[in-house]
Amino acid sequence: MKAFRVLLLPAVLSLSACLTTNSPTSGGDSGVSYGDSKAVETVTTDLGSTDIQTTAEKMTISMLQTPLLQDIIRQRGLLMASPVANKTSEYFDTKLITDTILTQLQKNGVRYVIAGDEMQNQTDELIRQNQTGLYKKSSTAKVGNMQGAQYRIDGSVSSVIKSNSKVKDVYYKINMRLIEIESGIVEWSDEKEIRKVLKR
Amino acid sequence: MKKMAAILALLGATCISLPVYAAEGGSIASKVEELGKMDYLKVTDMRAARRDNLLRIQVTVTNSSNKNEQLYYRFRWLDNDGFTVWEEEPWKPELIYGKQDKVISVVAPTFKATDFKLELQSPNNSTSSERRSGVDGPPYH
């Protein structure tokens, strides 16, 4: 019996060593894997995911602290986002920043209306419901009832790039403002500075 | 009833100060999660207060080394029951100069946050030490 146990032990051990489960992936050894979307991205000195995430976060928090924004939430006021000007030499979609800000503000109770390039889908749908003659009159969304925002978020992204043979230094400044549309008064503004250094 | 409402309104208008965490009291440890033991960086002061209906945190991180140290940090925002009330924050890089006391001030991104955890990571962490476990409960509520 003892001899049987001695023989069985290594067998059990070797079996347990082989028992690994397959991951629920289908790519084989393609080399593609999912990374952490919240990780600090340092691939190049260009504006990246970390810059966009931290900028949106800072602006949201800064705006939330202002009594005006808390009043807007209480009074169910409406916001909209104007296109943020990209004054840097590189291309990136500045909507990435304003979209995140609006989403994060909405989670705190802010209401916003669509604007800019999203308007096309909105007007297309209104026209489809009202002018194609396909819909019951009682169920269609009426034209002329869209609501205008009282405040708009605006801003700009600028950069200063300096480099020599050893170092490339990029300084970004992202400025954002909350403007009362009727009066043009800037009710809130804040900026985020980012410095990225590449050592060659 | 009216008196009660007036007191509540007054409390709402002024800032409600939450306890300051003493460096040696162990309360800081209950709020900090280090990914590995940080050799040179240490949280030496931490305070929390509710202002403008938002939880405001100020953390002082001290670099005991003569050299610059890189720190990565992020907060996890929780409610009274310990549930997360905000999405996972991005990690934030922070350069701390040699012997510097760096003050990090943050405000919760949501009105729902009543508690927090601070996640810290430094490339100079030693991983031989076990991760902190069995931390104290939240020091205030």
Closest residue, chain B, to A53 (C-alpha)? B90
pLDDT at B14: 40
Contact B93/A107, CB-based, under 8 Å? no
Which CATH number characterizes residue A173's domain? 3.40.50
Angstrom distance (rounded) from CA A115 to CA A37: 28
Q: How many structural domains compose chain A? A: 1
More confident residue, A71 or B15: A71
> With a cut of 70, which residues of chain A have pLDDT below it?
1-18
The interface residues of chain B toward chain A in range 81-110, judged by CB-CB distance below 8 A, are 86, 88-93, 106-110
The residues, any chain, with a CB within 8 Å of residue A39's CB and separated by 6 or more, are A50, B90, B91
Strand B37-38 with B125-126, pairing: antiparallel
* pLDDT greater than 70 at residue B18: no
The model's pTM is 0.80
* pLDDT greater than 80 at residue B138: no
Residue A76 lies in a domain: yes
Which tens digits make up the pLDDT trace of B60-95? 999 999 999 999 999 999 999 999 999 999 999 999
Residue A83 lies in a domain: yes
* pLDDT greater than 70 at residue B13: no
The angle at the Cα of A180, spanning A179 to A182, to the nearest 5 degrees, equals: 135
* pLDDT greater than 50 at residue B139: no
The residues, any chain, with a CB within 8 Å of residue A67's CB and separated by 6 or more, are B52
Residue A36 lies in a domain: no
B107 alpha-carbon distance from chain centroid: 10
* pLDDT greater than 70 at residue B21: no
Closest residue, chain B, to A69 (C-alpha)? B52
Angstrom distance (rounded) from CA B49 to CA B57: 7
- Average per-residue pLDDT for chain B: 79
Residue A120 lies in a domain: yes
Q: What percent of chain B has pLDDT over 70?
A: 71
- Tell me which long-range contacts A45-50 makes (C-beta under 8 A, separation of at least 24): A45/A168, A45/A170, A45/A196, A45/A197, A45/A198, A46/A90, A46/A92, A47/A88, A47/A90, A47/A92, A47/A157, A47/A172, A47/A194, A49/B90, A50/B90, A50/B91, A50/B92, A50/B93
- 3-state SS assignment for residue B19: strand
The alpha-carbon radius of gyration of chain B (Å, integer) is 17
Which tens digits make up the pLDDT trace of A117-149? 889 999 999 999 999 999 999 999 999 999 999
Beta strand ranges found along A44-113 (DSSP E): 78-81, 85-86, 111-112
Angstrom distance (rounded) from CA B127 to CA B139: 28
pLDDT at B136: 34
Domain ranges, residue A106: 45-133+146-199
pLDDT at A23: 83
Angstrom distance (rounded) from CA B73 to CA B92: 5
Residue A8 lies in a domain: no
Beta strand ranges found along chain B (DSSP E): 16-21, 32-34, 37-38, 41-51, 54-63, 69-78, 92-96, 101-107, 115-121, 125-126
Closest residue, chain B, to A101 (C-alpha)? B109
Residue A26 lies in a domain: no
Euclidean distance between the first and the last CA atom of chain A, given in angstroms as a whole number: 69
Which tens digits make up the pLDDT trace of A20-46? 888 888 887 888 989 999 999 999 999
More confident residue, B35 or A19: B35
> Which residue in the set B53, B54, B89 is minimally distant from A57, CB to CB?
B89
pLDDT at B140: 35
**Within 13 Å of residue B107, how many CA atoms lie on the same side as its CB?**
17
Residue A190 lies in a domain: yes
**Within 13 Å of residue B112, how many CA atoms lie on the same side as its CB?**
16
Q: Which CATH class is domain B16-126?
A: mainly beta
Residue A72 lies in a domain: yes
Structure tokens at A56: 């949106």
pLDDT at B123: 86
